[in-house]
Structure formats: structure tokens, C-alpha cells
Structure 1
Amino acid sequence: MAQHRELKAQLEELNERIDQARVKEAPDALLQIRELVALFGFSQSDVFGVAPGLRKTRAQAKYRDPETGRTWSGRGARPKWLKDKSIEQYRLDL
């Protein structure tokens, strides 16, 4: 059991040294990152990727109501402005 206590004490000491090294080295690391981002013109999404939930893109509109300007991609339920109408007259030339 003495070895376990000794190892735990060493682990605590190492964790403290790791934290101290991180605090000491972090400003230089951040400066390097900022320099590289500026040098290469990276955007936030280049560096961090796209946040979950923001990846969805709207489907391209295929139909348009000339009176209201409303559009529909052809996905999902048919909109009310197309109810009982031939959708071909509202098709956009893509």
C-alpha cells in the first residue's frame, strides 16, 4: 500500500508540473497559431471545422410562386400555394 501512496503523490506532482508547463508555454503556442492563421488566411471554419448543426444546407429551390416570391425545393409537403395546381408552371429553369 505504501507504493500506491507514493505513486499517487508522484502523479499529483506530475499533474502540477504539467499544469505549470501548460500555463508557461500556452502564450507562445497561441502566438504561433495566430501567426500561421494570419499567414495562410485561414478562417475559423478552416481551423475548427463546421460546428454541428450548421452543416445543413438548404435544398436548392425548384419551384417559385411569381406572385409572392415563395419557393419550394420539391422536398417535404407540398406548400399551400401549390395545392391543386400543376407544379410544372412554377418550375425554375436550373
Structure 2
Amino acid sequence: MSDLKTLRAELGHVNDLLADARSREVATVLARFREEIELLGITEQEIRWALGYDRPAPAPAKYYDSATGRKWSGRGAASSVARGQAPRGLRHRRTPSPSLLARRRVKQSEAR
């Protein structure tokens, strides 16, 4: 049993050494990173863009093929789904206009 206690103590010591080494390495890399940023004059916005932040959300799919599950938003090059090369299951998703939604609400309230 004392063998297990010794091994756990050694493992804890090794984990502490690893955490210290990692923190020193991170500090070194970040210092080098700061120097490069200052040297090149990179802005925070450029860094955020390079890391994938502050990008617009992808457009929702307007067209989809129920047979294959392929989608196309209507932006960019037309995929085979939109060019008519897709199987017959092609459908167009439409978002109801605000005026249509308002008319539906009026009809529902009149029916009550």
C-alpha cells in the first residue's frame, strides 16, 4: 500500500513540474508573439479576423435537396442543387414576409 502512496506522490510532483514548464513556455511564446505584433503593426481586429472571430454568420439555406441533404443559401456559385441537376426532391425554403405573418395573426384573432 505504501508503494501506491509513493507513486501518487511522485505523480503529483511530475504534474507540478509539467504545469510549471508549460507556464514558462506559454510566457515565452506570448512574449515572442507580442514582439512580432509590435514589429509588424498588426491590429487587434486583424488578429481576431485571423483567429476566426468577428466573421459574419453563414447565410441560412434557401434551397435543399431532401434526397441528399445538400443545401445552398443562394449566395456564391450555384451548387447542383440550385442548377436543376439535383433529383426531384428539390425544394425552396421561404421565410414568410412580415406582412404575411401579420395577416395570419389578424385572421387567427378574428376566428376567435
TM-score (normalised: structure 1): 0.45
TM-score (normalised: structure 2): 0.40
